Structure 1
Amino acid sequence: MATPREIELKLECGVADLAALANHPLLRADGTPEAVVLSSTYFDTAKGDLRKGGLTLRVRREGDRRIQTVKAASASVGLFDRAEWEAEIFGEVPDAEAFAETPVPALLGDAADPSLVPVFTSVVDRTTRLVVHGASLISVTLDQGRIETAEGAVPLCEVELELDEGSPGDLFGLAQALAETIPLRLGALSKSARGWRLIDGTLRKSSKASPVRLEPDATAGGAFRAVAQACLHHLRLNEDVFLHGRHPEGLHQIRVALRRLRSALTLFKPILTSDPAAAHLRDEIKRVTEPFGRARNLDVFLETTLPAELQKRPEEAGLQDLRTRLEAERDRAHDAVIATLESPAWRSLILDVAAWIETGAWRTQGPAEGGTPARDAPAEDFAADILDRIRRRIRKRGRRLERLDPEARHRVRIEGKKLRYGAEFFASLYTDKKAHKRHKAFVSAVSDLQDHLGALNDMATAHEVLSSLATAGDGVPAETLFAAGLTAGDNEAETKALLAKAADAHADLVDLKPFWR
């Protein structure tokens, strides 16, 4: 028997926007929309064995009915395509007989204590209507409510477009049409994921990229979809964090997510080359996010470079004024980032990227000369070929690294990022003990090279920050300019030592045996 699946596009918005959607012309349906109050309790073991195994288990109260649902976790963002098992039960706690044909019993069987306990609840006012869009029948759900845990509660306001009949392309088509007049954001978290993050305190904290899980028989196309989805998920989690509190690490992780996504578009170019949207989206992402670099440079200077200088020269009066001036400049730079993230163009771009990943021409177009599309090749073969090419470029471009000019070093750094991201993207394809050991050593070596080249890059950007101050005009006191000059000089003094370390790290990297061979 085929596993039942749920195909759902999740979007986030404000309360006023939800009210506007309720009367949107595209969401008019025959009859009166169905309105209900839903109270759902999520269960797991005390150790979270179901969560660790990629499952959620809930019991939902809907009037006099009790619906038990098991869902597989999804690494997707926006479009959730996941296994789902649902059954009506009698009672407020999970019914073991009703989940007997799901993966739950196996996970509970391996648990130290298989007892199920309630972990959090969601209470939602839900309105549902069926609409036709394109050639598809779509269930549109407007949810407003909250998630409640022992650690507190968080509001919930989202739109779910679930495919009853038809194609995912129509889900995105409807979302994009609605987003033309309503500020909708691609959903990053399921209700259960939001509840867990509230419990463990990570809902409003920045997060690094999660590992990409690829099946052993994954194709190159399947690998790209998984990688691109992971990048979008990483981006959206940290976008919400930065919008909520302007945390510098949140901005840093936004930029990391965007670099990873752009690197993926480059690494997987052989399977995307026939789809012009790939290059267009890559260029558009770079263009729209240009202001993010200035803000990040100021963050690094104020959090790393300047504190080190203050510790070294605590009596230098001009350093305090330097910090005050640059903090004001950083506030303006953060304002520019916020303006971008809150703009319709940004929200639309992210929705377009998500739609293209799932429904773009790259997924169906065949090669111009016929034969098997590159996207259908085994991911492991594809990875080996791509990683070989980048490794050769780094080996060639990094020769005599300590003698290279800053621009040439920057090109080595970019290739190093691609190699590191590629090694991370494809890591799960190499699971045997020897390959895993080699992978760990390889990523460590790439990271060492990146760290040294990154430090050199931070020095270069520090000079740019300080140069902008020097050209600001006569309003900058002489003692502040003097302090800026001292900082630049102290920074420059470390360059030679960092270059030597970077050259050693490059030599160590090229000597390592590739983990993919």
Structure 2
Amino acid sequence: MAAEHEVKLDLHPTVELGDPVSDIEGADVEHVDPVRLRATYFDTADLRLIRAGATVRYRPEADSDPWQVKHPIGDADTDGIVRDERAYPGNDEGPPAAVTSAVAALTRGAPLVPVATLLTERTRVRVHADGQVAVEVTDDDVEAHVDGRLVARFRELEVEGDHDRIRREVVDRLVDAGASRSGNRPKLVRALGPAAEAPPDLVVPELPTPSTRVPVVDVVSRAMLVDLDRMIRFDPGTRLGEDVEALHQMRVATRRLRTTLRTYRPVLDREWADSLRDDLRPLAAALGAVRDLDVLVARVETDLAALDPADAVAGPELCALLQLRRDRARGVLLEQLEGPGYGELLDRLLAAATTPRVLEPDAPAGPTLAPLVRQAWKGVRRAVAAGDDQPADDQHPDDHLHDVRLRTKRLRYAADAVQPALGQPAADLSRAAGRVQDVLGAWQDAVVAIEMFRTLRDEVDPGVAYLLGVLAARAGRRRDRAAGRWPAAWRRLRRHRKRI
């Protein structure tokens, strides 16, 4: 996706701007021929996209694909709004499948329909610096039509570009010339009015001042909404597959949500919580399968670069094999995301997070949830003790670390969720558990790599099999180093055992 950083300004239709950007230091100005644009915007009937800050429009132009999708990055402020923008091919017969997929997490299966048409007379000025366009200033006279009726006329300036100094100087000059700051409202919001300015379906409450008396339902709801919001925000990037971090973040969100439902099950309607966890399991598994291969591919590429060339001869063949497996896993994931059940799942999760089924919703969260965090802590201690009692002839002396890692993850997520009630002690516990997770995550990545290399050995020719053995040995050393770091991480975590 391409990032779009823009500042919107209002300007009265009768104001003559003159040429306020003509003498900016280190910049040249290019005047572009005026154009007339016709853009049809699509949204759900209840405007789920624009209320969440996203837009879908059809605007045919000679130099770009006609369908555009914009997703917000952060909130609008006086320095403008930043959005991810992507263009798609298509025609005027309706949004193509790629467009509906890009916003599926926001529409949740509701169809996209035309909601407004904007006719724009546009003049443009491009400000160049160092041979490149630093910012582009557009002066738009807009007519907005809804259901065939003219509903609004307005004039708007947009200053778009990533050159912060020049963008800010241009904005200041335009304000001095008579423009006013508009609050960075998109054109579609101005066309549709109050309905487009209503809150989005999913709103994550601000983290309140910690209080043990906050109702437990508020704590559980916020914890679920945080994770669901994260799932939805990283859904578009996960579908595109261009940035492995997007998939990683979406996977983390699904795992955290399932863990929250598990950890706080004693205060929830158990059947309700277990049903949601079951609903999430296939998606979490599909995300995990791709993520494990992303990590493995990156690790193999790093290891191959460090090997003697004679040992890495079969590297391209192995990388192709791993990439094939990743593509297959990604295909399974996309089937999950594109299936009709995905929108229904998000609807259920949104309803559940907004009004979770808490047995005693008004009970004070501190005394109600703190025992569950302590129970999660005891789970970590039991897993550690089980490793201490592990027979010496087991397959590997650190096999118990897998269980320790899972239970530490639950402890961390439990501490995160209860911060509105317990404040800093919960935040400190979360950070300490996170450091243990980092150590055991490195251990787990090595273990997964070793197991994958073992399963592949019988499927490949001798040259690749030899390379797998070399890589497995390197992974074994990483596993052992991480296991060696574990005792110190555990000692640091134990210091927090009596603070909640």
In the other structure, the counterpart of 2:252 is 256
In the other structure, the counterpart of 1:311 is 306
The higher radius of gyration belongs to: 2
Kindly report which structure 2 residues correspond to 1:377-416, keeping only aligned pairs within 5 A, or say none.
377-399=363-385, 401=387, 404=390, 408-416=400-408
Q: Which sections of structure 2, spanning at least 5 residues, go unmatched?
A: 1-45, 58-92, 101-109, 121-141, 158-178, 391-396
Kindly report which structure 2 residues correspond to 1:169-180, keeping only aligned pairs within 5 A, or say none.
none
Change (3 A) 1:313 1:296: farther
Q: Aligned equivalents of 2:96 and 2:286: distance in 1?
A: 33
Change (3 A) 1:252 1:357: same
Residue 436 of structure 2 is aligned to residue 449 of structure 1: yes
Contact 1:36/1:125, CA 8 A, preserved across alignment? no
The Cα RMSD (Å) is: 4.2
From 479, 488, 494, the counterpart of 1:510 = 494
Deviation, 1:17, is 6.6
Q: Aligned equivalents of 2:343 and 2:310: distance in 1?
A: 47
Deviation, 1:449, is 1.4
Give the match's secondary structure for 1:398: helix
In the other structure, the counterpart of 1:122 is 186
Q: Aligned equivalents of 2:206 and 2:381: distance in 1?
A: 27
In the other structure, the counterpart of 2:480 is 496
One-letter identity of the residue aligned with 1:242: T
Q: Aligned equivalents of 1:211 and 1:462: distance in 2?
A: 40
Deviation, 1:480, is 1.1
Change (3 A) 1:515 1:319: same
Contact 1:212/1:424, CA 8 A, preserved across alignment? no
From 201, 219, 231, the counterpart of 1:223 = 219
One-letter identity of the residue aligned with 1:213: L
Deviation, 1:488, is 0.6
Deviation, 1:227, is 1.0
Residue 300 of structure 2 is aligned to residue 300 of structure 1: no
Contact 1:219/1:376, CA 8 A, preserved across alignment? yes
From 461, 469, 488, the counterpart of 1:477 = 461
- Deviations along 1:376-433, whole A, 9 cap, x unmatched? 21122223111111112212221374775666322221110111112222224345xx
Q: Aligned equivalents of 1:330 and 1:375: distance in 2?
A: 43
Change (3 A) 1:187 1:314: farther
Q: Aligned equivalents of 1:407 and 1:417: distance in 2?
A: 17
Q: Aligned equivalents of 2:276 and 2:434: distance in 1?
A: 28
Q: Aligned equivalents of 1:403 and 1:315: distance in 2?
A: 44
Give the match's secondary structure for 1:353: helix
From 189, 197, 207, the counterpart of 1:213 = 207
One-letter identity of the residue aligned with 1:410: H
Deviation, 1:356, is 2.7
Deviates more, 1:397-406 or 1:236-245: 397-406
Q: Aligned equivalents of 2:432 and 2:189: distance in 1?
A: 52
Kindly report which structure 2 residues correspond to 1:172-251, keeping only aligned pairs within 5 A, or say none.
213-214=207-208, 216=211, 217-251=213-247
TM-score, length basis structure 2: 0.59
- Deviations along 1:128-180, whole A, 9 cap, x unmatched? 8xxxxxxxxxx9x7x8xxxxxxxxxxxxxxxx9x79xxxxxxxxxxxxxxxxx
Residue 282 of structure 2 is aligned to residue 287 of structure 1: yes
Q: Aligned equivalents of 1:38 and 1:223: distance in 2?
A: 46
One-letter identity of the residue aligned with 1:415: R
Q: Aligned equivalents of 2:234 and 2:258: distance in 1?
A: 17
One-letter identity of the residue aligned with 2:48: K
Q: Aligned equivalents of 2:257 and 2:339: distance in 1?
A: 20
One-letter identity of the residue aligned with 2:207: R
Q: Aligned equivalents of 1:327 and 1:188: distance in 2?
A: 36
State percent identity of aligned pairs. 23
Contact 2:205/2:222, CA 8 A, preserved across alignment? no
From 353, 361, 371, the counterpart of 1:375 = 361
Change (3 A) 1:385 1:315: same
One-letter identity of the residue aligned with 2:188: V
From 448, 456, 459, the counterpart of 2:446 = 459
Give the match's secondary structure for 1:375: coil
Contact 1:242/1:250, CA 8 A, preserved across alignment? yes
Q: Which sections of structure 1, spanning at least 5 residues, go unmatched?
A: 1-7, 22-26, 28-32, 40-59, 68-89, 94-114, 129-138, 144-159, 164-185, 190-209, 364-372
Change (3 A) 1:311 1:463: same
Deviation, 1:233, is 0.4
Q: Aligned equivalents of 1:410 and 1:291: distance in 2?
A: 20
Deviation, 1:254, is 1.0
Q: How many residue pairs were aligned? A: 347
Q: Aligned equivalents of 2:55 and 2:273: distance in 1?
A: 28
In the other structure, the counterpart of 2:48 is 10
One-letter identity of the residue aligned with 1:471: D
One-letter identity of the residue aligned with 1:10: R
